[in-house]
Amino acid sequence: MDCTETHNYKNFFYELILRANEKYKEKVVVLIDEYDKPILDRIEEPEIARENREILKDFYSVLKDTDPYLKLVFLTGVSRFSKVSIFSGLNQLLDITLNPEYATLCGYTQSELETVFEDRVKDFD
């Protein structure tokens, strides 16, 4: 699938979502791992971190604009959504970080910690 918009990351992202929806006749799933990495990588340089935050805020605004074409957006990162403020334009964010219903989705179970990592955690409380 070729996108015509190649010089503007925001427009490219927007077009990519629309074209995927058109091509597959299905709503699109967007997976973003470490959504906050460009900010955290420059945390010691506050001005650059702020610039990166504004760029990401603009980039992620595409998700609101393409909402009718989206089935699911799954984001992972270290920072809480509310602390980063790059998603202020989005609605219906659900933070599942500490929700027991999703406890094993992207991590290890207690049983796995006790068996698979037994030799590494035996000296820890």
pTM: 0.73
Mean pLDDT of 13-39: 94
**Residue 50: inside a domain, yes or no?**
yes
Mean pLDDT of 38-64: 92
**Residue 117: inside a domain, yes or no?**
no
pLDDT tops 90 at residue 110: no
Question: Across the strands, what pairs with 70?
Answer: 28
Each residue's pLDDT tens digit, 15-26: 999 999 999 999
Cα distances (angstroms) measured from residue 53 to each of 21, 71, 107: 28, 25, 27
**Residue 109: inside a domain, yes or no?**
no
Q: How many structural domains are present in the chain? A: 1
What domain range is 41 assigned to?
A: 9-92
Torsion from C-alpha of 90, 106, 99, 121, nearest 10 degrees: -140
pLDDT tops 90 at residue 81: no
Of residues 2 and 36, more confidence is placed in 36
